[in-house]
Copies of this chain bind each other. A is one copy, B any other.
Amino acid sequence: MQGMKPTEDRELLNEEKDRRMHERFMRQAIELARRSVDQGGGPFGAVIVKDGQVVATGHNRVVPSCDPTAHAEVTAIRAAAEALGSFDLSGCEIYTSCEPCPMCLGAIYWARIDRMYYGCDQQDAARIGFDDSFIYREIALDPAQRRLRSCRLLADEAREAFRAWEAKPDKTEY
């Protein structure tokens, strides 16, 4: 996957017959990215939209919030879930000033966001020192081959918690 330029899914622009609306939301994400730099964060912004309305925005706050997970998309997703009162963001679209890293892309899947519009890509990010592609490559490897050393431990005992989940009658699945 690395090094391949993502193909545009142009239908996403045509079918809405409103490229200007998408561009407006993307410009808002880019403006958040630009302002984030002034505030000591990384140059990344994101906007989450539902039914043509902005639900939440986010920008990179890793340094100012002292939180390595506070990327623009994660921040916007957390804010959107709070605003909508649901961990399920089905029906939402995310506009992000840069193609998401694996952490943020994972968050987009967990949140069940329907569509993604992005500005810069991984290669642009790598050029200014954000090498998401290293993490993309690592995640695709077998755990034993990753740079991150890992070891399995107490698998049988760990499965006990899973059995408690299975046995719970009134659980909310997510």
Contacts and interface: CB of A to CB of B under 8 A. Distances in A.
Contacts of A10: 151
Nearest to A109: B135
Interface residues of A, number: 103
Given A105-B139, A107-B68, A117 B150 contact: yes
A150 B165 CA distance: 34
A89 interface: yes
Interface in A23-53: 23, 26-27, 30, 33-34, 36-38, 40, 42-45
Interface of A: 1, 4, 6-10, 12-13, 22-23, 26-27, 30, 33-34, 36-38, 40, 42-45, 62-63, 66-69, 71, 74, 77-78, 81-82, 85-89, 95, 97-99, 101-121, 124-125, 127-129, 134-136, 138-144, 148-155, 157-162, 164-166, 168, 171-174
5 closest Cβ pairs, A-B complex: A119-B158, A103-B106, A7-B144, A33-B161, A6-B143
27 contacts: A1-B142, A4-B142, A22-B153, A23-B153, A23-B154, A26-B157, A30-B157, A33-B158, A33-B161, A34-B164, A37-B161, A37-B168, A38-B164, A40-B171, A62-B110, A67-B78, A67-B87, A68-B110, A102-B103, A103-B103, A113-B148, A115-B150, A119-B154, A120-B161, A121-B155, A128-B162, A140-B140
Given A101-B106, A102-B102, A109-B134, 16 more contacts: A6-B144, A6-B150, A8-B144, A9-B144, A13-B151, A34-B164, A62-B87, A66-B85, A67-B82, A99-B143, A106-B135, A118-B151, A120-B162, A121-B152, A125-B162, A128-B166
